[in-house]
Amino acid sequence: MTRTYATDEQYERWYMAECCRCGQRRHKAGTWPDGYVCRTCSDRAVRTRGTCPGCGQDRAHKGVSCQTYPFASQASPNAP
């Protein structure tokens, strides 16, 4: 199996980061507006559903409301 990186330092730089949700250094699962997120926090966030206090739409939450991230307000035409 061929490695796509030459050194352990490159592996750390390309695939690992401090999670913006839990603060632990883990493999990157994605990038959210507040930073890199690990797989555990990403999975936990998309399983969390509820009514957004900003737009009133029932959807998956990342633990924030529409007022925190403006892009979420675009999900509903009635959003403030």
pLDDT digits (tens, 9 = 90+) for 36-76: 999 998 888 888 777 777 777 887 766 554 555 544 444 44
Question: What is the pTM (predicted TM-score) of this model?
Answer: 0.59
pLDDT of residue 49: 79
pLDDT of residue 54: 72
Inform me whether the pLDDT recorded for 14 exceeds 80: yes
57 and 50 in contact (C-beta within 8 Å)? no
Q: Look at 61 and 79; give whichever has higher pLDDT.
A: 61
pLDDT of residue 27: 93
